[in-house]
Amino acid sequence: MSQQRGVNALCLLGFESAYKTAPTDGFTMKLNTSSLSSKRSKNVPATLSGTRNPVEPFDGNTDVGGNLVVPVDSLAFWYWLKAAFGTPTTSGSVSPWTHEFKIGSSQPSFGIEFQYTDLATAKYDLFTGNKISSIGMEIGGDGELIANLGVIGAVEAMGAASFDSSPANPGFYRLGNFQAALTEGGSPLGNATSFSFNIDFGLDPQRVIGGGGVLGAIPEAIVKVTGNLKTLFEDTTLLAKALASTETALKLTITRSVSAILEWEIQELQYEQKSPEIPGPGGLLVDLNFAGYYTDGSEASAIVARLTNTAEHSGGV
């Protein structure tokens, strides 16, 4: 028998026409790791049977979820952004095009399939009724630029064929840490050592009677935008903003070329107050958590992602 290897496992993403309906058009997606799985516990009854022996267990609800770690690029990452935010607003008449993603009233559901073709009989593991529950990124250092995607889903089905036997290849054009630049309050920030953010999309999984223990719906609630900024302790500008709860803004721009740019903008945020620490004799850092929000920012979204690439993505794909 052949053992499946992760190196040969293929990931397909496809958007659903209706929640928990298997997609028909797939896209091959690059993936670093996945913990997406389904789990259904065997619960132990409290029933007394006249002996000390346990009685037959019963099934609990099915939970589908996990995390995907994906490399960040200017082409394939468009599909993960669409899964999180929905179809973007695209500008430009010729390449390059810029796609702007904002927090909307809803998120699309999608299917994810893992193909296990090392097995003696190939198997295709399809998860349907999925939504992106969170996106997290950390910028700084010389490691691979990745995004952590939280996923909540509904149904898993292991089959003998793929939902799309001829999936499209969206291409891949990697973006890197050393291509990043930050602005703070509209001015370049040249002394940041790391910047991270997390978007919690506030999903509210619901189960219904007669639903067989799987999720009946995943409605969207309030989004939460949080993060952290570390800079060299060279002045007290950011500390003063934190102390006074002064509204400010952060913009991260990752540029490989004029046709390969990823930008994240938080127009309105406040830092948490935190004094510098002295952990040793070396250089000190300003280490501030922040919370983003929307009150009156011109983009009308607590966070905005803009992706410039060479694909028009007409029709939302």
Q: Residue 204 corresponds to which tokens in the numbers above?
A: 């509210």
Contact between 174 and 144 (Cβ < 8 Å): no
Indicate the residue type of 217: A
Half-sphere exposure of 11 (CA within 13 A, CB side): 20
For 90-122, how does the pLDDT look when each residue is reduced to its tens digit (9 = 90+)? Answer: 999 999 999 999 999 999 999 999 999 999 999
pLDDT class for 314, splitting at 50, 70, 90? Answer: confident
pTM of the predicted protein model: 0.97
Q: What is the pLDDT of residue 280?
A: 97
For 121-133, how does the pLDDT look when each residue is reduced to its tens digit (9 = 90+)? Answer: 999 999 999 999 9
Burial class (CB in 10 A: 0-12, 13-18, 19+), 233: middle
For residues 176 and 165, give the distance between their C-alpha atoms in angstroms, rounded to a whole number.
32
Residue recorded with tokens 């996990």:
66
C-alpha triplet 22, 77, 89: angle, nearest 5°: 85
Contact between 71 and 32 (Cβ < 8 Å): yes
For 211-231, how does the pLDDT look when each residue is reduced to its tens digit (9 = 90+)? Answer: 999 999 999 999 999 999 999
Beta bridge partners of 117: none
Beta bridge partners of 288: 229
b/e for 263-275, b at 16 or more Cβ within 10 A?
bbbbbbbbbeeee
For residues 88 and 100, give the distance between their C-alpha atoms in angstroms, rounded to a whole number.
5
Q: What is the pLDDT of residue 315?
A: 80
Q: What is the maximum span of the chain, computed from C-alpha positions, in angstroms? A: 77
Where does 86-228 have alpha helices with state H? none
For residues 11 and 13, give the distance between their C-alpha atoms in angstroms, rounded to a whole number.
7
Q: What is the pLDDT of residue 45?
A: 96
The secondary structure of 193-252 as a DSSP string is EEEEEEEE--B--EE-TTSTTSEEE--B---EEEEEEEEE-S-SHHHHHHHHT--EEEEE
Q: Residue 255 corresponds to which tokens in the numbers above?
A: 């540029």
Q: Residue 277 corresponds to which tokens in the numbers above?
A: 């620490």
Average pLDDT value for residue range 35-50: 96
Q: Residue 291 corresponds to which tokens in the numbers above?
A: 């919370």
Residue recorded with tokens 């999608």:
110
Q: Mean pLDDT over all residues of the chain?
A: 97
Q: What is the pLDDT of residue 1?
A: 76
Using CA atoms of 5, 6, 10, 11 in order, give the dihedral in degrees to the nearest 10: 150
